[in-house]
């Protein structure tokens, strides 16, 4: 009677451990689903037959992935550098335009040893020194200095 429940629990633990050596952060939710089915099998006994177990496993796996994956990933992995705003990294830096800016067209600005797209509210000639006032994705908004 309870041997089926133990199988689900062992499978759940195995999938949880397999998550430690695989990328993607997905197996733990199947493991959690298997553990849930194991506990339900203990609670409901023989009335919770294989058909219900498989249906519950599928349902809980989808629910756990949809509802918990994003939260668990953020909690366990932290905020990635790609998610952070880069505005503070470049705002205030001085650069030199390598291609003129003619709004609404963008130009190019050299900041340190990197060249970036640059936009401005007013035309700025190539070779002018500029200051970065904001950043949108990979385009620096600059003003002439």
Are 66 and 134 contained in the same domain? no
Q: For 34-66, how does the pLDDT look when each residue is reduced to its tens digit (9 = 90+)?
A: 999 999 999 998 889 999 999 999 999 999 999
How many angstroms separate the CA atoms of 5 and 46, rounded? Answer: 10
| Global pTM value | 0.52
Are 59 and 25 contained in the same domain? yes
If one counts every other C-beta atom within 10 angstroms of the C-beta of residue 70, the result is 10
User: At CA 25, angle to CA 22 and CA 29, rounded to 5?
Assistant: 110
Q: What is the pLDDT of residue 75?
A: 76
Q: Which residue has better confidence, 86 or 54?
A: 54
Mean pLDDT of 92-116: 94
Are 101 and 132 contained in the same domain? yes
Torsion of CA 130, 131, 133, 136, to 10 degrees: 60
Token pair 């009677």 in the structure block, residue? 1
pLDDT for 6 beyond 90 = yes
Q: Which residue has better confidence, 69 or 121?
A: 121
**109 membership: H or E segment, kind and range:** strand 107-111
How many angstroms separate the CA atoms of 21 and 11, rounded? Answer: 16
How many structural domains does the chain have? 2
Are 67 and 124 contained in the same domain? no
Residues spanned by the domain of 109: 87-144
Q: What is the pLDDT of residue 14?
A: 96
Are 29 and 65 contained in the same domain? yes
Q: How far is CA 111 from CA 4, 84, 129, in A?
A: 65, 20, 10
Q: What is the pLDDT of residue 1?
A: 53
Please report, for the domain that includes residue 118, its CATH number.
2.40.50.140
Please state, rounded to an integer, the average pLDDT across all residues of the chain: 88
User: Which one of 81, 110, 131 terminates a domain?
Assistant: 81
Are 54 and 94 contained in the same domain? no
């Amino acid at each position: 009677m309870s041997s089926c429940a133990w199988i689900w629990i062992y499978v759940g633990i195995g999938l949880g451990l397999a998550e430690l050596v695989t990328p993607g952060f997905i197996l733990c939710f199947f493991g959690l689903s298997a553990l849930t089915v194991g506990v339900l099998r203990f609670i409901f006994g023989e009335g919770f037959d294989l058909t219900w177990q498989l249906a519950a496993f599928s349902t809980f796996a989808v629910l756990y992935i949809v509802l918990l994956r994003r939260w668990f990933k953020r909690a366990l992995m932290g905020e990635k550098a790609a998610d952070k705003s880069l505005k503070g990294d470049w705002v205030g830096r001085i650069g030199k335009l390598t291609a003129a800016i003619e709004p609404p067209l963008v130009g190019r600005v050299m900041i340190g040893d990197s060249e970036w797209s640059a936009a401005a509210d007013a035309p700025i000639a190539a070779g002018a020194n500029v200051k970065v006032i904001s950043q949108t994705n990979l385009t620096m908004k600059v003003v002439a200095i």
